[in-house]
Homo-oligomer: A and B are copies of this chain.
């Protein structure tokens, strides 16, 4: 027994302390960078709302972004995929230029009204900083891998204020169909420290809420049903549709990227056309609600926040956001995919609620997490994200929606570097 205790104390208990030595300062730096990024994002989003004419410059902003990446980017244009590649194969070179470049170009995208998100930027800033850190510390490849995972977790945890989700997301996103636990504790530590740092800078995350559901007790013979089986079935069906929407988004983005590269031979022309399309479609729709981040909207327009209220979105809001985001990200602009996925999901959930008679806030919240789960193949992280964002009462519905969306979204992900560890279907399924 003494030897067991001694073994525990020398090799296990004190190693987290050794580990913190590497990870805590890294996570603080990432948390500060994410706070700066979120602050900048708010500034440029407000600027765009105040000066509507800025959107006319979107095509030229796109040219600038593509030109900057062509001239200075080295391989950093690969974005999140480069970080995922480096985690699978630590000899992959990640350049630190990725950090300032993705920050700058995301801000430009948002200033001029491109439809994009935040998480890709935060994850890339975290990953490239972690890579630099591991070079300075001259870490072995296995250690570099852990630090890269921590960088992703820190970026994700800080940008959404969800540290547990950040840790599970980093481990879950690198491969489809499995999670390995070797970096569980380091990732959680990184996520917590980065989130605390970011919040300490005064960054507030948007608050969403889903009201309680009181199920009536139904007596059938000698049996009592306290759950709403019909609601469970509706949520499962909605989850499947969220998964199909995720697959549609991933396929549309890939399709646009492939076709434009095929038909438009001059690379600088691609974002020019993309920017023009975003403006044109917005004018055709008569609204700018689907440009930019889409979390809130000062003009009483459609946003993620309004998707939680009855009649807060139109029947096709989800589709327009999907299209504009696929064009923005497929044609050279920068930013994350996740916030638009939240928008698409919440808006689609809102519509499904009105047709199925489910609570609107519940289905909007489920769409928010489940489209993301389907598009990135991270059903566990998204179930946990539901708890961190909306509270734990509805965890059963989160799990049903996210698992069903994961199941229905196919093997094509928004991250092409994601590997298939375990396929989703087998003979029984």
Contact = CB atoms under 8 A, between A and B. Distances in A.
Nearest to A423: B182
A374 to B, nearest CB: 12
B403 A184 contact: yes
A16 B188 contact: no
A168 interface: yes
A357 interface: no
A425 B18 CA distance: 13
Interface in A1-52: 1, 4-5, 7-8, 11-13, 15-16, 18-19, 22
Contacts of A101: none
Contact of A188 (B188, B220, B400, B410): B400
A90 B393 CA distance: 37
Q: How large is the interface on A (under 10, 10 to 19, 20 to 34, 35 or more residues)?
A: 35 or more
A392 interface: yes
A185 B403 contact: yes
A240 interface: yes
Given A164-B383, A199-B224, A186 B429 contact: yes
A164 to B, nearest CB: 4
A340 to B, nearest CB: 20
A428 B186 contact: yes
A72 interface: no
B4 A426 contact: no
Given A142-B428, A393-B392, A179 B179 contact: yes
A244 interface: yes
A93 interface: no
B251 A4 contact: yes
A323 interface: no
Interface in A166-183: 167-168, 176-182
Interface string A136-159: 000110110011000000000000
A330 B90 CA distance: 46
A404 interface: yes
12 contacts: A142-B427, A177-B180, A178-B180, A185-B403, A185-B404, A196-B227, A199-B224, A199-B225, A199-B227, A200-B223, A388-B395, A392-B395
Interface of A: 1, 4-5, 7-8, 11-13, 15-16, 18-19, 22, 139-140, 142-143, 146-147, 163-164, 167-168, 176-182, 184-186, 188, 192, 196, 199-202, 220, 222-227, 229, 232, 236, 240, 244, 247, 251, 379-380, 383-384, 387-388, 391-393, 395-396, 399-400, 403-404, 406-408, 410, 421-429
Given A182-B424, A196-B229, A392-B393, 14 more contacts: A1-B251, A12-B407, A12-B408, A15-B425, A178-B181, A181-B406, A181-B424, A185-B429, A199-B227, A200-B225, A200-B226, A202-B224, A388-B392, A392-B395
